[in-house]
Amino acid sequence: MTVLDVRDLQTHFFTDTGVVKAVDGVSFSLGEGEVLGLVGESGSGKSVTGFSILRLVDPPGRVVGGQINFRGQDLATLSARDMRSLRGNRIAMIFQDPMMTLNPVLRIETQMVEAVRAHDRVSHAAARDRAIQALSKVGIPSPEERLAAYPHQFSGGMRQRVAIAIALLNGPDLIVADEPTTALDVTIQSQILAEVQELARDTGTALIWITHDLAVVAGLADKICVMYAGRIVETGPTDAVLTAPGHPYTEGLLGSIPGHGRRGERLTQIPGMAPNMARLPLGCAFAPRCARASDICRTAAPEITDIGPGRALRCYHPAPMAEGVA
């Protein structure tokens, strides 16, 4: 059953220097227990997409178009009050930097109990019990004692576990995770990945995992959306995208992962820099960095086209393998 169906989402930032289309026509859908990997480099609009779903885009940004259907309700047009009752309740979010997400001057207990009681009229004691359960679920030892602690008394990995526990408190249908492991050590990263995957599977929670690292979503996601300059350039089931990338940008991302592909082969890198979102080129945004770009790429932006079951691509010159799959 579909939990979330995003159609043609548009989120723009109205800055002094002009309108930045941070998210420009993004569509995807997500079923119960499904994990979506939203991949792209910084500035590609992947995080803004995540924040748009929770309607937490800070000014001067604003969702200006599209639909965000969550269990039959369009979040884009929902009243602020109804939206608030969904946040942290049916839809939860985990942030990138665990050092910054917990309020430094409030005890963990306060920060967890308030999250429960914002949505359920339960006693402080009942909310506290739920907090203890959530903490032990994410593997925090002696949760009862740790409730009295302040965030700075936890390590980065532990803080992110607390943040995940807070996200789990009300048993949400959807969790948006915005690069939650980027700031952590590699060993802790993989622990948390494994735990989150297990939790999502057990509870049937749908998960949007935002990352710049294809390797992270490779083992985690059911399907992948690759974003570039505010648009989805390639989407499809994880295996299909990873084994037969169609878009030159996806190829570039894959080529720059060490260990992927054959030994002894040179790591490739994507030439050039991420585009200036305030001044995008006329045609395909990736054209200036693309080896296969032709005249048409520089004059007209390609449309996204289906190339197979659940697979779509936004490119005039897709890799031959992808066409073979279609």
Partner 1 sequence: MLVFLLRRLAQSVFVLIAMMIVVFFGVFMIGNPVDILISPDATPLEIEETMARFGFDQPVHVQFLKFVGNALQGDLGRSFVHGESAVSLILSYMPATLELALLGLIFSVAIGVPLGVYAGYKADRWQGRTIMTGSIFGFSLPNFWVGMLLILIFAVELRWLPSTGRGDTVEVLGLRLSIFTADGFQHMILPALTLALYKASLVTRLARAGTQEALMQDYVKFARAKGLSETRILVVHVLKNIMIPIITVLGLELGSMIAFAVVTETVFAWPGMGKLLIDSILTLDRPVIVAYLMLTVIIFIVINLIVDVVYTLLDPRVRVKGDAA
Residue ranges in contact with partner 1 by CB under 8 A: 54, 56, 58-59, 84-89, 92-93, 95, 97, 100-106, 110, 114-115, 118-119, 150, 152-153, 163, 166
Residue among 163 and 210 whose Cβ is closer to partner 1 = 163
Which among 41, 59, 57, 58 has a CA at the least distance from the CA of 49? 57
Q: Which residues lie closer than 8 Å to 77 by C-beta, 6 or more apart?
A: none
CA distances in angstroms from 258 to 116, 245, 254, 265, listed in the order given: 42, 17, 9, 10
Report, in Å, the least distance between residue 215 CB and partner 1. 25
Residue among 87 and 137 whose Cβ is closer to partner 1 = 87
Residue among 175 and 301 whose Cβ is closer to partner 1 = 175
3-state secondary structure of 139: coil
Task: Give the DSSP letter of residue 77.
Answer: G
Which among 229, 240, 225 has a CA at the least distance from the CA of 27? 225
Report, in Å, the least distance between residue 254 CB and partner 1. 31
Residue among 14 and 267 whose Cβ is closer to partner 1 = 14
Report, in Å, the least distance between residue 16 CB and partner 1. 13
Residue among 93 and 254 whose Cβ is closer to partner 1 = 93
Residue among 1 and 105 whose Cβ is closer to partner 1 = 105
Report, in Å, the least distance between residue 170 CB and partner 1. 8
Which H or E run contains 298? Answer: helix 295-299
Report, in Å, the least distance between residue 198 CB and partner 1. 23
Residue among 84 and 317 whose Cβ is closer to partner 1 = 84
By DSSP bridging, strand 174-178 and strand 91-94 are parallel
Residue among 175 and 244 whose Cβ is closer to partner 1 = 175
Helices (H) and strands (E) in the chain, counts: 13, 12
As given in the structure block, the two tokens for residue 286 are: 């990736």
The secondary structure of 144-194 as a DSSP string is HHHTTS-GGGS-HHHHHHHHHHHHHTT--SEEEEESTTTTS-HHHHHHHHH
Residue 17 φ/ψ region, left for φ over 0, alpha for ψ in the -120 to 50 degree band, beta for the rest = alpha
Report, in Å, the least distance between residue 112 CB and partner 1. 9
Q: CA 277 from chain center: how many Å? A: 19
Report, in Å, the least distance between residue 115 CB and partner 1. 4
Report, in Å, the least distance between residue 79 CB and partner 1. 14
The DSSP bridge partners found for residue 226 are 39, 234
By DSSP bridging, strand 223-228 and strand 35-39 are parallel
Report, in Å, the least distance between residue 117 CB and partner 1. 10
Residue among 178 and 234 whose Cβ is closer to partner 1 = 178
The secondary structure of 95-111 as a DSSP string is -S-HHHHS-TTS-HHHH
